[in-house]
């Protein structure tokens, strides 16, 4: 069985975070472009991969993995040589998983609610993230004192959370606090990030040419 990863991607989607994770991991992967403008994500070919009809998705060793946080967690564990996740027997593994799941369960939903101007319900305890302001304060604490979530240790949690903070500031659903700007600025200086930016420009050109 081939160890190559098939990566279903569109640069204008959450798949950008997985693209960055793949570059950080350094494992061989092949991109399958999904044209969102043509609705290819809702066609039978892709629905057989992810019935939700959403990106990102990868296929590795005959197994499909979807959901950005799950893919980042999977890749970090599947390729331990990259050093992007603490080992199972390391105490800091708990901290790492805490923030990975916080990103998936709280940050993502909070930012989308703010982006779409959804009114907060009277009983915020029913929301997974509670209050938006509490989520933002907790997010800031996650990257403090830094420079990374695990302090001196860069991990998949930074790829995931960093992508969310960058998205939030870009869409103005998250205020550009100095701590967030510093953190995202640090991540964008990484070689993997610069490679992804260059590759995505080429992929967008391909999509435009076939549009």
A 10 A CB-CB count for 100 gives 23
pLDDT in tens, the chain (211 residues): 568 999 999 999 999 999 999 999 999 999 999 999 999 999 999 999 999 999 999 999 999 999 999 999 999 999 999 999 999 999 999 999 999 999 999 999 999 999 999 988 777 777 889 999 999 999 999 999 999 999 999 999 999 999 999 999 999 999 999 999 999 999 999 999 999 999 999 999 999 998 7
Q: Tell me, which fold does domain 92-190 have in CATH?
A: Glutathione S-transferase Yfyf (Class Pi); Chain A, domain 2 (1.20.1050)
Q: What's the pLDDT at 1?
A: 55
Q: Which parts of 50-190 fold into alpha helices (H)? A: 68-78, 92-102, 108-115, 132-142, 156-170, 178-188
Q: What's the pLDDT at 126?
A: 79
The pTM (predicted TM-score) of the whole model is: 0.95
Q: Can you read off the two tokens belonging to residue 64?
A: 């499909």
Q: Can you read off the two tokens belonging to residue 203?
A: 């992929």
- Please state the domain extents for the chain: 5-83+192-209, 92-190
CA atoms of 12 and 5, how far apart (whole Å)? 20
Q: What's the pLDDT at 123?
A: 77
Q: Can you read off the two tokens belonging to residue 26?
A: 């350094």
Domain 5-83+192-209 sits in CATH at 3.40.30.10
A 10 A CB-CB count for 4 gives 13
CA atoms of 12 and 18, how far apart (whole Å)? 12
């Amino acid at each position: 069985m081939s160890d190559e990863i098939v990566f279903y991607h569109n640069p204008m989607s959450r798949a950008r975070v997985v693209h960055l994770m793949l570059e950080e991991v350094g494992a061989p992967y092949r991109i399958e472009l999904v044209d969102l403008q043509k609705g290819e994500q809702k066609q039978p070919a892709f629905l057989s991969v992810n019935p939700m009809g959403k990106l990102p998705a990868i296929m590795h060793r005959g197994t499909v993995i979807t959901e950005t946080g799950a893919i980042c967690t999977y890749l970090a564990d599947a390729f331990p040589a990259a050093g992007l996740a603490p080992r199972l027997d390391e105490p800091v593994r708990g901290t790492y998983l805490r923030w990975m799941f916080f990103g998936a369960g709280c940050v993502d939903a909070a930012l989308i609610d703010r982006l779409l101007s959804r009114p907060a319900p009277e009983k915020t305890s029913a929301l997974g993230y509670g209050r938006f302001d509490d989520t933002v304060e907790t997010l800031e604490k996650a990257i403090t004192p830094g420079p990374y979530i695990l302090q001196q240790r860069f991990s998949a949690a930074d790829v995931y959370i960093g992508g969310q903070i960058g998205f939030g500031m870009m869409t103005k659903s998250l205020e550009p606090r100095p701590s967030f700007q510093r953190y995202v600025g640090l991540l964008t200086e990484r070689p993997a990030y610069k490679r992804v930016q260059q590759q995505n420009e080429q992929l967008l050109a391909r999509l435009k040419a076939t549009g």
